[in-house]
């Protein structure tokens, strides 16, 4: 809870700085907003009495992080969205490898 409160305070300060057009404040506010969202998802998941031990997969190798798992379990994000994003990321990596191979072969 302390971390969530700290993130809220820092986000409020960043939003205030953003309203005054302080350089870098909008990027800071964006990052803090994302961190607060992840923190809220994790807290909501961990406090949910319906989940039993083992419902949360820690450090899974399939690309799911604790944050993604928490967001999916708490209903804040659809599993399909996470899987689509993973597929897009995989394609970008493949494109980079193919570009590198083309450079080497040229």
Query: How far apart are the two ends of the chain, measured CA to CA in Å?
Result: 56
Q: pLDDT at position 59, please?
A: 44
Q: What is the pLDDT of residue 74?
A: 74
User: Binning pLDDT at 50, 70 and 90, where does residue 82 land?
Assistant: low
Residue 77 is given by DSSP the state S
Calculate mean pLDDT across residues 52-77.
Answer: 62
Provide the whole-model pTM.
0.50
Task: Please give the pLDDT value at position 75.
Answer: 75
Residue 60 in this model has a pLDDT that exceeds 60? no
| Secondary structure of 10-67 as H, E, C letters | HHHHHHHHHHCCCCCHHHHHHHHHHHHHHHHHHHHHHCCCCCCCCCCCCCCCCCCCHH
């Amino acid at each position: 809870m302390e971390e969530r409160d700290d993130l809220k305070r820092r986000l409020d300060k960043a939003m205030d700085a953003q309203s005054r057009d302080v350089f870098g404040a909008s990027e800071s506010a964006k990052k803090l907003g994302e961190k607060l969202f992840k923190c809220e998802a994790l807290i909501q998941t961990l406090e949910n009495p319906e989940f039993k031990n083992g419902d949360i997969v820690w450090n899974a190798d399939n690309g799911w992080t604790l944050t993604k798992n928490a967001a999916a379990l708490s209903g804040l994000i659809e599993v399909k969205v996470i899987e689509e994003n993973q597929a897009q990321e995989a394609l970008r990596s493949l494109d980079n490898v193919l570009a590198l191979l083309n450079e080497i072969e040229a």
